[in-house]
Amino acid sequence: MIIKSIIIFLIGAYVGGELAYYFVYSPKAQVKILWKQIYKLNQFIIDTGDDSVRDYLVNDSTRKAIADQKKKINILLDYYFNEEEDQEFAKNNRPSIE
């Protein structure tokens, strides 16, 4: 009985680890997370309005944060996706840096 529960626990831990890697820690998941952060920052710029002081203080720093996120995405794509099978993913997720 104890051996059966240990085996079930080990299988569950293994499957949980694999799922965590796939959805959180893999390079593709990290690229998707960074794109979500860029989307949230863009929504923040849209929601702040047109106040000149706010535009200078908030939107300028937010645009810098977006540029940093895009640089991180490009670095991840350059480092992890050089094989033939992942070129399509890298091409579709590469941001343009202004």
Please give the model's pTM, rounded to 2 decimal places.
0.76
Q: Is residue 71 part of a domain?
A: yes
Q: Is residue 19 part of a domain?
A: no
- pLDDT above 80 for 56: no
Residue range 73-80: mean pLDDT, rounded:
89
Q: Is residue 16 part of a domain?
A: no
pLDDT at site 50? 63
Select the more confidently predicted residue: 55 or 20. 20
Q: Which two tokens stand for residue 49?
A: 């309005």
Place of tokens 């996706």: 81
- For the chain, what is the domain count? 1
Domain span holding position 71: 27-93
Q: Is residue 77 part of a domain?
A: yes
